[in-house]
Chains A and B, each alone.
Chain A
């Protein structure tokens, strides 16, 4: 039962261009969403989050967009840098629970 899906296993982008990573979810009870970045041999690192009462949250080069009607969120990275090359996971949470549900991840490669 994959409640959180990242349909693109990989993405390549030129340095300086925009990276757009997508995530879809099926559970309408989710009301908090997060993006994590993961380098090999390290744990996930929190990037940015968004509550379901918002449709956009921005932090520096990172912006997360939430489309509740489509049950879709996306992470935009502008401009992309080679150091952004990593696996990106989206995760979702229902308020009042502790169970973060992760997607399968998208491997981003930023080409210099």
Chain B
């Protein structure tokens, strides 16, 4: 069964450093999402991406964050200058059709630890 993959599984970085989290969505999917989950808290929507542009973003997704689909398979989340409070699990998800019309498939997540 096709699946969403994410790398790395765990990223440790120093505060102020840039990190790039990578995702490979399911190959025929067109809509892509990033979420985060701070330990013990709810899963929070960060951003959605369709047709090579951001379709919606949350208040969390400020200027420190950016997303990119650099080629036909990868979908990346960049945090320019990490803060301690960015420590969380980051999940990528994808769907073939638009929201509410298709199942959202999640990757296993990247645990980001900011020291």
Q: A residues near B, CB below 8 A? A: 32, 34, 36, 41-46, 51, 89, 91, 93, 95, 97-105
Contact = CB atoms under 8 A, between A and B. Distances in A.
B48 interface: yes
B55 interface: yes
Interface of B: 4, 31, 33, 35, 41-45, 48, 50, 55-56, 58, 91, 93, 98-100, 103-109
A42 B109 CA distance: 7
Contacts, number: 59
A43 B93 contact: yes
27 contacts: A32-B99, A34-B104, A41-B108, A41-B109, A43-B4, A43-B93, A43-B106, A43-B107, A46-B104, A89-B42, A97-B56, A98-B33, A98-B48, A98-B50, A98-B55, A98-B56, A99-B45, A99-B48, A99-B56, A100-B35, A101-B45, A102-B35, A102-B42, A102-B43, A102-B45, A103-B42, A105-B42
